[in-house]
Amino acid sequence: MVKLTVLAENSVGVSLGQVAEHGWSVLLEDGESRVLFDTGQGMCLATNPRLLGVDLSRLDAIVLSHGHSDHTRGLKLVLETCAGAEVFCHPQALQKKKVRRSLGGREVTLDIGIPYTQAELESLGARFQFVTAPTRISEHVSASGEIPLTAAFESLEPGFLVEGPQAEAPDPFADDLALFVRTEKGVSVILGCAHRGAINTLTAAAAWSGNAPFYALVGGNHLHSRSAEQAEQTLTALESFRLHLIAPAHCTGPRVTARIFERFGERALPCSVGMRLEL
């Protein structure tokens, strides 16, 4: 059994002093191993772990789902608490990332990448382990590696950019990772933002596990800014994976989250700061 605790998310369920932020961070306890998946923007990790009985000084590994700041800004705080931790991520997670959006009738470009350099993080004790293929993190938890683009309707979202040697270019999100958890209950997939698509990620998990039965899908689907048509295609495709539990979070968006609850009924779970789940 693997225990999951949500430390950072856009909402708080029953608050006993915990705070929320636009971000994502979960702790996975796999026996004696403690794996932190993402670090949010930092405000949640400065407050919530203590209130939830979580000791961040006792981490065995940190995994970054991708290089956006709402998943990585809290990394400095964590390293100051747990020096010498192994940090698993794709090498492209450390690239400079931006987003181009229309705000107030004008187009703006915003920096949204990890706000620290590799050297800064290593000076705090980070020991980077770069992941491009499925990589075991603990007994029952693996990082996915790169997610192949297989579903025709799950295209990369325009407007996200990465800084290259010559100029900015569309971000291919090669750094988009998930966690694959395999226990006696089945295979569970923990998403960061699923920039490469939740269905593509589940398909990769099925290939990784040899088509073992699925148990849960937890995390962000990044459907808040996609069309209603794509959201419905995603929900229809989710049915084929026969998930026992779906806990949409973070960047899924309220409209799509409502549709998940309508469509999946009791299989859908509210996911907010403080949620605990046994996988």
Tell me how far apart the alpha carbons of residues 72 and 97 are, in angstroms, rounded to a whole number: 12
Host H or E run for residue 121: helix 118-123
Task: Give, as one character, the DSSP assignment of residue 208.
Answer: H
The pLDDT score that the predictor gives to residue 104 is 79
**Is residue 228 predicted with pLDDT exceeding 90?**
no
* Segments making up each domain of the chain, as ranges: 2-278
Compute the average pLDDT of residues 85-95. Answer: 97
- Tens digits of residue pLDDT in 98-134: 998 887 788 889 999 999 999 999 999 999 999 999 9
The per-residue pLDDT for 37 is 99
The span from the CA of 88 to the CA of 195, in Å, is: 18
Helices 228-239, 198-209: inter-axial angle, 10-degree rounding: 20
Tokens 């203590």 found at: 50
Q: What is the pTM of this model?
A: 0.96
pLDDT band at 14 (very low <50, low <70, confident <90, very high): confident
CA distances from 56 to 53, 90, 104, 171, 183 (A): 10, 22, 40, 32, 24
pLDDT band at 231 (very low <50, low <70, confident <90, very high): confident
Residue 265, pLDDT > 90, answer yes
Band of residue 165 on the pLDDT scale cut at 50, 70, 90: confident
Decide: residue 267, CB within 10 A, 0-12 exposed, 13-18 middle, 19+ buried. middle
Residue 13 confidence (pLDDT): 85
pLDDT at 1: 96
Mean pLDDT of 187-214: 98
Pick the residue with more confidence: 167 or 211? 211
Confidence check: pLDDT of 140 > 80: yes
* Residue 12 contacts residue 43 (beta carbons within 8 Å): no
**Is the pLDDT score of 222 beyond 90?**
no
Average predicted confidence (pLDDT) for the chain: 95
Whether CATH 3.40.50.800 fits 2-278: no
How many angstroms from the chain centroid is the CA of residue 272?
Answer: 14
Which pLDDT does position 224 carry in this prediction?
74
Residue 245 pLDDT exceeds 90: yes
pLDDT of residue 156: 87
- Give yes or no for residue 207 having a pLDDT over 80: yes
pLDDT at 252: 93
Residue 83 or 186, more confident? 186
Between 44-53, 62-71, 156-165, 171-180, the lowest mean confidence (pLDDT) is in 156-165
What per-residue confidence (pLDDT) applies to 190?
99
